[in-house]
Amino acid sequence: MLEPFLFFVFAVLCVAGSLGMLLSRSPVAGALWMVQTMLSIACLYLTLNAGFIGVVQVLVYAGAIMVLFLFVIMLLNLEDVPKLSAFSWTRVAAFVGGVCVLALLLTVIAGQADLLPDTDTVAVAVVETQPPAVLAEPDGEIVAVVPGEAVAVPIDPTSVERIGVALLTRHAFSLEIIGALLLAATIGAVLLAKKRFV
């Protein structure tokens, strides 16, 4: 009962933040609206039981990337853009294009609604929880071994442990590539932002 309530609260906050980013005239205000959107999305991850991704979202997006944006905006010392009042056919075409994208996405989602699963459905694994019991006579002769009872246990797909194991086993190569990519991006950013480079 709690999940729908939290979902709608954070969905409204999220859409409000992104609309504020779209409509704000000052880039600083836009970036701050975007921080609200990022934090709301982190809370939505928590409603989906994705604790690890939620924390990473706060750290990386709300913490690192948005602070980088704010630093750059304040470094550039920009003035506010003029109000969006001038009518132009380009702008109307852009708006129509955006609405077409939304209509297309919602049509696809509505068309497949019957096939989509619920977020409540939890994968179940059958595991033996009880150790096998050994029935023995007083003189030590084993009479029977009773197997442990198999119990269906819900898998928590989102535990940090499972994410860590998958990252460092099946996806270890991708993890290394990401490390190299981040190093290359750091070097590239420093080179690009150096004085009299371009």
Partner 1 sequence: MDITWYLSLSAVLFTIGVLGVLLRRNVIVIILSVELMLNAVNLTLVAFSQAFGDVDGQILVFFVMSVAAAEAAVGLAIVIAMFRNKLTINVDEIRLFRG
The rounded radius of gyration (Å) of the Cα atoms in the chain is: 26
Residue 119 lies near partner 1 (rule: CB under 8 A): yes
Strand, coil or helix: 143? strand
User: Do 71 and 38 form a contact (C-beta atoms < 8 A)?
Assistant: no
User: If you search the block for the tokens 């077409």, which residue do you land on?
Assistant: 100
β 124-128/142-146 pair status: unpaired
Member of 136, 145, 155, 172 binding partner 1 (CB under 8 A)? 155
Binding residue for partner 1, selected from 127, 134, 153, 182, defined by CB under 8 A: 182
110 or 143: whose CB is closer to partner 1? Answer: 110
Give the chain's end-to-end CA distance (angstroms, integer): 56
Give the separation between CA 183 and CA 190, rounded to whole angstroms.
11
Q: How far is the CB of 141 from partner 1 (least distance, A)?
A: 45
Four-residue CA torsion sign, 173, 179, 184, 185? positive
CB under 8 A: which stretch of 57-65, 129-137, 140-148 binds partner 1? 57-65
The CB-of-110 to partner 1 minimum distance in angstroms stands at 8
Our CB check for partner 1 shows the closer of 19 and 133 to be 19
2-41 positions binding partner 1, by CB under 8 A: 3-4, 7, 11, 14-15, 18-19, 21-22, 27, 30-31, 34, 37-38, 41
Shortest distance (Å) from residue 149 CB to partner 1: 23
3 state SS of 5: helix
**Is residue 135 within the footprint of partner 1 (CB under 8 A)?**
no
